[in-house]
Amino acid sequence: MEINSSFWSQIKSSMKNKNGASKLLENWLDPIDLIKAEKIDGKLKITLGVPNQFFFFYVNEHLKEKITLELSDLCQEAVLVEFVVTGKVADEYNTSLHDVLQNADQVFQTAQQSVIPRPAPVKISENLNTDFTFSTFVVGKNSEFAHAATYNVSRNPGSDDYNPLFIYGPSGMGKTHLLNAAANEIRTNFPHYRITYVSAERFLNECVSGIRRQEMDKFRQKYRDNTDILVVDDVQYIGRGQAVQEEFFHTINSFIERKKQVILASDRMPKDILNLEDRSRTRLERGLIADITMPDLETRIAILRYKSENFNLRISEETILYIAKISKKSIRELEGNLKKIKMYSELQGLSINLELARKVLAHHENTITISIEEIQRIVSEYFKIRVADIKSTSRAKPIVVPRQIAMYLIKKFLDKSLVDIGRAFGGKDHTTVISSLEKVKNLQLSDPQFKNDIDELTNIIHNITGL
């Protein structure tokens, strides 16, 4: 059978007849052109052209399955269907989106025929912060991968390469900013997408309420049927309830199967979320995972400069440098310290200078800047292993080497006793600690890559602590 324009016209006519010559179906089908048909690995692939990105989204979501079935029936073999945006549309079909949607109230007569629901009005979650955009996010080495990933998602939501997108890192590092930035950018690029931004805790509470009130259909309609982009913050709280995990898994699964984008954030990797079911963990790990950590000194200075301009503050470079060095825990702390100085300056009628900054932030200078646990976390994240692994009894090389390095860095930066260090790693004997310290010192002399790892970790800790 020759697959050409006449064949494609026959397919469209057949689909229209089966759906009662629906005007709505006609509006979506007629602008679609046959681009090519080819055999790939013994399978028939048919490429269809659509006029714009809106059509691309809609036919993929609501028509692809029906077109595939129709083509397979006529060709009498399995068919793969792919849509591409051509930018071309005949004059008689160059209908505005408003005109198309006006006809959307023509629904099909039977359940089998009702394959094209009317595009729902755009829904933006009331929790979305429109001030958080990519243009207001200061990118550093600590966040460049997470920033690039969220930006790419916002330009091409639903792509298999980024779905789900899982961003993790300690509290106050900018994860929420990136989530909001992605949602805001998607709203700009794809205004017809319905976006739901929610915290995992709220998702959990609404799910529990739905179960108690026997209103789970309403809950599922909100999160599955009436949402195109799902953004969930603080996913680490999902592990609290078994029934909620069940619903969470099926919701995420539903989105991914329908090529709808899911963007998630947590303070830890999926494998470290307490009580998270294996299937949920596996599902989250199948997407793209991007970490975001504490920015280095240079990035903290850049953030302070940007924030100072937004606050219309005139601050000397030495004052900015001091604030950046003192604020080592999170970006939230960095911004908070700047606001403290600003408020004190306004209340006292004083100019902002180094002396004022030292006075306001004096208590920071004497605080402990890093702990054993933080160094263990930094090393674990660097080598992509769990903190629990580094404290375990495992003698596997991918675990032993990071453990030895962590011991070395704790001794270097905190000068803890051998007993204290051994205790922090599951009760290791002090002789084990001595042996680990010696091995790290020797390997730095003989293994350039090993030395590079030590230097990079040392630099990370230095940028956080100033030590």
pLDDT digits (tens, 9 = 90+) for 104-119: 333 333 333 333 343 4
375 closest CA partner among 390, 357, 353, 354: 390
- pLDDT of 49 higher than 50: yes
- pLDDT of 62 higher than 50: yes
Q: What is the pLDDT of residue 12?
A: 86
Confidence category of residue 125, pLDDT binned at 50, 70, 90? low
Q: What is the pLDDT of residue 39?
A: 87
DSSP3 helix / strand / coil % (the chain, rounded to 5): 60, 10, 30
Q: φ and ψ at 445, to 5 degrees? A: -80, -30
Classified by CATH at the fold level, domain 372-465 comes out as: Chromosomal Replication Initiator Protein Dnaa; Chain: A; (1.10.1750)
Cα 52 to chain centroid distance, Å, stands at 26
Q: What is the pLDDT of residue 95?
A: 41
| CB burial of residue 358 (10 Å; 0-12, 13-18, 19+) | middle
Provide the H-helix boundaries in 371-417.
372-382, 387-390, 397-414
Provide the token pair at 300.
């903290």
Q: What is the pLDDT of residue 446?
A: 87
Contact between 83 and 50 (Cβ < 8 Å): yes
Q: What is the pLDDT of residue 291?
A: 86
Strands (E), 107-202: 165-168, 195-199
Q: What is the pLDDT of residue 107?
A: 30
Contact between 185 and 151 (Cβ < 8 Å): yes
CATH of domain 297-365: 1.10.8.60
Higher per-residue pLDDT: 461 or 357: 357
Q: Given the DSSP bridges, would you call strands 165-168 and 261-266 parallel, antiparallel or unpaired?
A: parallel
Q: What's the residue count for the chain? A: 467
Domain with CATH 3.40.50.300 in the chain: 134-291
The overall average pLDDT reported for the chain is 81
Question: In angstroms, rounded to a whole number, what is the distance separating the alpha carbons of residues 176 and 368?
Answer: 27
3-state SS assignment for residue 57: helix
Question: In angstroms, rounded to a whole number, what is the distance separating the alpha carbons of residues 35 and 30?
Answer: 14
Domain with CATH 1.10.1750.10 in the chain: 372-465
Cα 80 to chain centroid distance, Å, stands at 30
Higher per-residue pLDDT: 121 or 180: 180
Q: φ and ψ at 201, to 5 degrees? A: -65, -40
Q: What is the pLDDT of residue 451?
A: 87
Domain with CATH 3.30.300.180 in the chain: 5-105
Q: What is the pLDDT of residue 425?
A: 92
3-state SS assignment for residue 66: helix
- pLDDT of 127 higher than 80: no
- pLDDT of 90 higher than 60: no
- Of all helices (H) and strands (E), which one includes residue 393? none
455 C-beta neighbours (distance < 10 Å), count = 11
Range name among 60-64, 294-298, 409-413 with the lowest pLDDT average: 60-64
Q: What is the pTM of this model?
A: 0.55
Q: What is the pLDDT of residue 230?
A: 92
Question: In angstroms, rounded to a whole number, what is the distance separating the alpha carbons of residues 421 and 349?
Answer: 49
Confidence category of residue 130, pLDDT binned at 50, 70, 90? confident
Q: Which CATH architecture has domain 5-105?
A: 2-Layer Sandwich (3.30)
Higher per-residue pLDDT: 319 or 94: 319
Q: What is the pLDDT of residue 63?
A: 80
Higher per-residue pLDDT: 107 or 240: 240
Provide the token pair at 465.
């602590």
CATH of domain 134-291: 3.40.50.300
Percent of the chain with pLDDT over 90: 13
Query: Per DSSP, what are the bridge partners of residue 199?
Result: 233
- pLDDT of 120 higher than 80: no
Cα 456 to chain centroid distance, Å, stands at 26
